[in-house]
Each structure stands twice: as structure tokens, then as C-alpha cells.
A and B are shown apart, each in its own frame.
Chain A
Amino acid sequence: MESCAQKKKYAAKDYKSDLKPIWCPGCGDYTVLNAITRALAELALPPEEVAVVSGIGCSSRIPAYTSVYGFHGVHGRALPVATGLKLARPDLTVLVTGGDGDGFSIGGNHFLHACRRNVDLTYIVMDNQVYGMTKGQASPTTAPDWEGSKLTPEGTGINPFQPLVVGLASGANFIARVSSSDPINMARIMVEAIQHPGFSLVQVLSPCVTFRPEQQEWRDIVRTAVVDYTDDAARAARRLMTDDGFNVGKVLYKGSRPPFRPEFENTNGSVTELEARFAL
């Protein structure tokens, strides 16, 4: 057991940079930033041993607002950057933050394969069902009849992407949904997500107050899931397929697949040995 003294080594503020977020007042992402820093403090991880990787979007701004190592890459490619970083540096704790457009649209293929590959990462997706940074277009999780965008004035007419169902089917090893209106549970679940080996997927219902003001009602709609997590993927699939997207505050699925790590033969061979194979 870690001693209490060690756990108190860090406070949440130790993980925050002094940069002021560009987010709108009331944005759900503020709570997520707080929860991440609280979770890191709870885990007493030295800031220099943590990396937060992101792509592009409002929520992808998070790395710069933390005091850990950060990488702010291009749109949709946060998961591969994090994969390379974690495989090359297994000693680091690597988190990935981003939004629904970054993760499930432009980065959709990487999402599938990150779940499948099961590298030990924690992926925190702030889902607000809209592209906020480009000022309010439909995202892959937007309802088909949402008419709030000039790009799709009649609605998209396409059923929304189901991140947790797809994540489960693709092999994610830990799945949870949380609400930004419940910061305490969010931090607790992030701690669990970081501790769980393999690829952990945390969907955060994080309202966009500017382009989806109606999402402020989410705080009244969400409910704490009534059942505890399952380790049975089939049962988890049934639950996720029938759920309305507002069961929050609990872990939904925990798998036990060992995390991906390429075969590491390291025979302490030398480059000279490699060269010898070419000699005549």
C-alpha cells in the first residue's frame, strides 16, 4: 500500500499550467481539466512522468493547460502519437484528450485500431456532439435531426456514431461514461481508467454552451448507472446497445486483455552481427 504521505505529495493545482483556457464560460471542458488534474494528484504521479497528447479541437487544448509533458498534434492523430510515445516510453503514464469530431470522424480509423491494439493508454473524449472550434457543425455523434448548422440545415439524416459500442466491439479494455456535471465521480473514474491496464475509453458528456445551449439540460437528464461494471463483453454489449446515452458515473466494462507490447527479443545483439549477414 502506498502511504498517505505519498498520496498527499501533489495537489490538483500542481498539474495545472498558468495558461488561461480559451474555452467559453460554462464549457464542460473546465470540469474535465479539473478532474484530470485531481486524478493525477490522487495517483501522486510526478508531473514529468505523465504525458497528455491531443489532436485539434476545443478539448484538444488541454495539454497546454496542464503542467505535465504535452503534445498538441494535428487533427485526428492524437491516438497514434500517444501509441508511439507509450510504446517507446513504457515508463510514462500517457493520457489522450480530445473531442468527438477529432476522435470519431477524422480520427475514426485510429480509434478502432487503438481499441484493438490495446496499448496502455487512457483516452478521454469530451463529447458535445458538435464541432465547436469551427463554430457549430454537426459531428459524428450529432442526432440526425439537429438543424442548428448552416452546413446541414435539414439535419444530417445520419444516425449518430456510438463510441462506446464501437469501442467495445473494437477491443477497448475499459469503458466508462461520465458527466461533466459530476466532477467527483469523473475524477474517481479517471483514476480507475489510468490504473487499468490496456486501452481505457472514457466518454465525457461535456456540453457546448455556445453552439448546443440545450445541452445544459444534460445535468438534469443524466442518471447514475444502476448496475456495476461487467467483465463480460457480451453483457456489456447488450447494456450499451440498449442504453440511452445518459447512464453515467460508473465504469461499464472492464476487460482483462493484456496490453499490447511488441515482441521484444532484445538479444543484446550488436549492429556488427547484423552486418555480418551481408558479408561474403
Chain B
Amino acid sequence: MTINSVSLVIAGSGGAGVVTAGSLLLDAAAQAGWYALMSRSSGPQIRGGEAAAMLRFATEPIMSHDDSFHLLMAIDWDNIGRFSAEIPLVATSLIVGDPAHGPAPAALLGGTPRQAALAMTDIAGKIENGRPNMVALGAIAGLIGLPPEAMQAVVEKSLKRKGQAAIDASMAAFHAGFAAAADLPAIPKLPAVAAATEPRWSITGNEATGLGVIRGGVRFVAAYPITPATEVLEWLAPSLAKVGGMLVQAEDELASINQIIGASYGGVPAMTATSGPGLSLMIESLGLAVAAEVPLVVVDVMRVGPSTGIATKSEQSDLNIAVYGLHGDAPHIVVAANSVPDCLFTTQWAVHLAEAMQAPALVLTDQAMGQARAIVPKPAELAFIGQRLTAAAPAVEGERYKRYAMTASGVSPMAIPGTRGLTHTADGLEHNEFGTPSSQASDHQAQMDKRSRKLTQFNYGDHWADIEDSEVGAGDTAIITWGSSTGPAREALRRYAAAGGKARLISLRLIAPVQPEKMAAALQGIKRAVVVEQSHSGQFYRMLRAFYELPARTVSLHHGGPLAFGPNQILEQLNQLNAGSA
């Protein structure tokens, strides 16, 4: 079965107003028992400026946007052309605009969508304190089948402080829009559902990231603001304080990473969040955390690069720097979240991995999932808590402590400052077992082996990848992907299966260290594969080629950001692979 859903965009020059309208609609949809996903796109302006809220509603959980939108509701047309590529419209789509702002710009009409007028400004003008935004929301509700009571509940909650008059004015405008929808051309309506049977959350990827690290045990965060990671930090600052932790705003990313190294050396699990430019600045000190064996987590909410790139838009192009960016041979962990709720799972897991292996763990998320809000089934409780192997006292009284002792697992008991008899110096210089600087080949070899061994011998369980087969089986075709591209890939798999196709989705969560044996098992019987990623140079495909045995017929489907893949783009590639095999 393919997903029964409706997709729409609210756009306008109201800046945050459009996103607020989208949020109200998302909350009302949740109230109505639907599932929802809302992404936002905004121009470079700091305040105001053009913005668009992209929403998709369904009666079951959704992980991706559709290939096109059923409806574009434009409060006005200012600069909307800048988004036209992000708002694919087809012949069955409907553009609703306000005649007060003139005709729709040509940039939106390439897919020959239907057009209709809704005099939002005029209708709102007839209501005391009526706003065109609420008229638009009413019309949307009427078009997609959202019950007005759901919006009533949301508006009452959000405008509670402004008083009953404000609530009444908003709802009057909403109802006027709702009534006007009867005269608009139809788009698909979603069926009403009974009250939700399972507990659900409304959460953004960046919030889930913050919650994940706190659940994992992080209690110290140092960070420098950067789009699109700032919300992780803004959520963490008050939340950490509530559980006895703290967030420090650092002077730059060099300071962020080194502050968390200091805190973690002090025994307090620590993390920072940043985006590509900040990660670039942190790289040298990530190597220090590798050499000194200091556990920590760095979240990179990826945006379009290189350089400043497009700060507000998404791309999966920091894979190379995350995996290969460090100088020297520097074994470290790289994991990637593959959906909004998975930001919670993956960051919590990352804290667990970093602490268990006393190594830095990089978590890759991106703007698309970080700044998206989703209505999702309540995420499961996870058992991952950061647990560090610590040293309590000298094995033999007076015996000198070996911070970097050789062990079978490669992990050495770590003495936390304050522990008697175990003082030592942790060092970024190559060292011997005691931590004493050494330039001897044998010490370098032994320490390199140890730092590598602790990562390669670790039991990552089933979490290294999400592996999902279509209901009818895996067949001999696979989609291999990671991160945000997993959403549309999942939906492509469903559409493929609905048409009778069999395929397997492999979404890698553990990017490094690589898992060739597990991948070989996952690719058992697979003869064809498509590798999907949002990178101009196909970084993921090249990495797979370097480390894994891929099926003989493996094609790469990749492009740079900020446009995400639609499910049909991936489906088309699957069909082509299949046709090629006939």
C-alpha cells in the first residue's frame, strides 16, 4: 500500500508568520489524530523575508516529503520564485493566491498547476483583528478535511495569554476561510481518524538530538552558534540545567571542542553541536581526542557547502570530512541519523559508543531533518547510557598507573582527576602506556593498534544499519543510502512493492568504522543496487566502493543540495535497474 497523504506549502513574505501558521496547522493535524511532517525553507534574511512551510499529512507515520505538492497557499508572492524549485507543482496541483497581490509569478507555473483565487486580505478585513494567515489556514482545513474543532483547540492553547477576544478573532477568520474553501477546486482530502491509539510526540530533529545526548548521559555542552545547529543548543541550554548539567557559549568552535575535551577528561560526558564550517575548525582537536582517548560527541547538522555555502539549506556532503578529515591515522566513530526521530536514537547511541570506547563520535544529521518537525509515534526507551571504564585505585599500591595500558579490547581503564594514586598526563603527543611522550616506532605501533582495535572489535549489534525488505521479500535489488535520503528511499520501497517489486533498503547508521562482514550478509542474494545520497560528488558511493563488495550492477543516484530526492526519483531508478536486468 502506498501512503494516503496530502502535501501542501504555505508561503509568503511574513517570515516567521508563515512558519507559525504551518506550526498551528501541524498541531491541529496532530489534534485530529493525523501524522505530519513540516519542513521549512527560508531566504537569507534574518527577520521577515520570504519563507515557506512545507507540510505533509497522513493517517500513518511519514518520513519523507512527496514528489510534488497538492496545494500551494500563497499569502503573497514576494520573492516566492526563489523557492519554485523546492515547491514542485504538477497539473493536478492547485495554487491559491490572493487577488490583492496580483497573479501568480511565472516561475511557479512550469508544471501547469490549476489556479484559484481567495481574497484573504478582503475576508480578513471584514473581521475585527482578522488576519489573512488565519483565513488561509481555514481554507486549507476545508480543502484537506481537517475538522475545525482541531484548530479551535490549538488556537485556544496558543493564544491563551492574549485573551478570549484574540481567540475569537482568529477563529472567526479561520471559519470564514473554511467556508470559502467550498468554492475552491478540490484537492485530496484525508479521512478523519478516531482518537490516536498510540502515544505520539511532536518533535524536531534538533530537539531529538538534544534529548538523545541528555538521555545518553551528557551533562556538559560547549558550543558556538551556527545555522542550522543553533536550535540543538537553544533546546539544550535550559534542558541541561534542569538535569544538573550546563551549556557554555564558547568564543569559537576551537574553544567549544577543547572545552568539551576538558570536561570529559574531568569525567563528565560532554558534547557540542555545529555545522560544516564549525566542524572544519574542530578537526585538529578531534585528533587530540583520538590520541588522548577522550570520549566526546560532536553533532554536525549538515548544510550546503563548501565554505559558507547555503547556510539555511540541507546537503549530505560532510561525509568525507567526517570520515577522512583528521590528519594522521585517527580511528574515530562516525554515525548518522536517518530520520527526525532517529536523531534521538543515534545521538544517544553515539554517547554510549564514545564513552564505551573512549573515543570521539561524530554524529551527522542535516538541516532537512534538524529543522523539520514531525508528529511521530513515541520513540522507544533506549538502554544506551554512556558508561566509561574507569580506574578506581592502583592495582598494586605504589605501582605507576598506565593510562594507555595494552588490553585485549583496546580500552584502558581511565583515571578521572581526583582519584588518588592514579595521576598521569593525558597527551596528544604519541606516548607509551604511561602516557609519557615517546617517539619510538614500537610505541607508535602499539598505541595505533590499540586505538584501532577498540573500535573494530566493538560489538555494534544490529544498529549499524536499518535493513528493511518490502512486504513481499527482498528480491535481488537493494537501495543503499544514509541520512536524510533514507526517508524518500523508504517510501520508494513501498511504492515499488505496491507495484509488485521486491527490494531491500539498507540505510547505514554506522559510517565508520566500516562493517564489511555485516554488509556482505545484508547483500546476500542482492544482484543490483542503487546508492542514493545528496552529494554532488557521490561521496557515499565512493566510500562504499572503497570499503565494501557491492553487487556487480550498482548505480549511483546523487545530486547536491538543497533539493531532496522525491520517492519517485528513486523508484524510477529501481525500475530502470530492473528493466536493465530483463
Chain A residues in the interface with B (C-beta under 8 A): 19, 46-49, 51, 53, 63-64, 66-74, 76-77, 79-89, 91-92, 109-110, 112-113, 262-271, 273-275, 278-280
Contacts and interface: CB of A to CB of B under 8 A. Distances in A.
A90 to B, nearest CB: 10
Contacts of B196: 280
A84 B417 contact: no
Given A64-B427, A84-B260, A280-B201, A266 B241 contact: yes
Contacts of B435: 64
A109 B263 contact: no
A81 B418 contact: no
Contacts of B497: none
Contact of A85 (B207, B262, B420): B262
Contacts of A72: 425-429, 437
A26 B4 CA distance: 81
Given A74-B285, A278-B201, A92 B417 contact: yes
Interface in B262-297: 262-268, 270, 284-285, 287-288, 292
Given A88-B220, A271-B215, A280-B200, A81 B259 contact: yes
A87 B267 CA distance: 12
B258 A80 contact: yes
Interface stretch (B249-257, B455-463, B476-484, B517-525): B249-257
B428 A74 contact: yes
A73 B261 contact: yes
A88 B261 CA distance: 11
Interface in B196-219: 196, 199-203, 207, 211, 214-215, 219
B259 A80 contact: yes
Most B CB contacts (10 A, CB to CB) among A66, A71, A88 go to A88
A95 to B, nearest CB: 12
Contacts of B418: 48-49, 89, 91-92
A86 B425 CA distance: 16
Interface of B: 30-31, 196, 199-203, 207, 211, 214-215, 219-220, 222, 238-239, 241-244, 246-248, 250-252, 254-268, 270, 284-285, 287-288, 292, 375, 378, 415, 417-429, 435-437
Contacts of B417: 48-49, 51, 69, 85, 89, 92
A262 B258 CA distance: 17
Nearest to A17: B425
Contacts of B203: 278
Contact of A80 (B246, B250, B426, B437): B250
A84 B261 contact: yes
B251 A113 contact: yes
Contact of A113 (B244, B255, B267, B422): B255
Contact of B424 (A70, A85, A268, A280): A70
Nearest to A112: B251
Contacts of A270: 243
A88 B251 contact: no
Nearest to B259: A84
Contacts of B423: 47-48, 67-70
A40 to B, nearest CB: 12
12 contacts: A63-B425, A69-B423, A71-B425, A73-B285, A77-B255, A80-B262, A84-B222, A86-B262, A88-B268, A113-B255, A280-B31, A280-B201
Contacts of A81: 258-259, 261-262, 265
B314 to A, nearest CB: 22
Given A48-B421, A275-B211, A80 B288 contact: no
Contact of A88 (B243, B256, B263): B263
Contacts, number: 184
Contacts of B265: 71, 81, 84-85
A85 to B, nearest CB: 4
Nearest to B215: A271
Contacts of A68: 423
B241 A263 contact: yes
Contacts of B261: 73, 81, 84
A279 B259 contact: no
A48 B202 CA distance: 47
Contacts of B251: 109-110, 112-113
Nearest to A78: B258
Given A88-B266, A278-B207, A262 B243 contact: no
Contacts of B238: 265
Contact of A266 (B222, B244, B428, B429): B244
Nearest to A68: B423
Closest 4 pairs between A and B when the two form their complex, measured CB to CB: A84-B262, A70-B425, A84-B259, A80-B258
Contacts of B288: 73-74
Given A74-B285, A270-B243, A80 B201 contact: no
Given A80-B254, A85-B262, A274 B211 contact: yes
A47 to B, nearest CB: 6
A271 B30 CA distance: 23
Contact of A110 (B31, B255, B428): B255
A63 B261 CA distance: 16
A265 B242 contact: yes
Contacts of A89: 263, 266-268, 417-418
A19 B292 CA distance: 19
B197 to A, nearest CB: 13
A63 B267 CA distance: 19
Given A64-B425, A278-B207, 10 more contacts: A19-B436, A69-B417, A74-B285, A77-B255, A84-B260, A84-B263, A85-B266, A92-B418, A266-B244, A267-B242
A104 to B, nearest CB: 15
Nearest to B415: A69
Nearest to A67: B423
B220 A84 contact: yes
Nearest to B200: A280
A91 B417 CA distance: 10
Contacts of A264: 241, 244, 246
B101 to A, nearest CB: 35
Contacts of B268: 88-89
A272 to B, nearest CB: 10
A113 B418 CA distance: 27
Given A81-B259, A110-B255, A274 B246 contact: no
A206 to B, nearest CB: 21
Nearest to A70: B425
A219 B255 CA distance: 36
A142 to B, nearest CB: 24
A271 B381 CA distance: 11
A85 B214 CA distance: 19
A205 B114 CA distance: 79
A233 B533 CA distance: 58
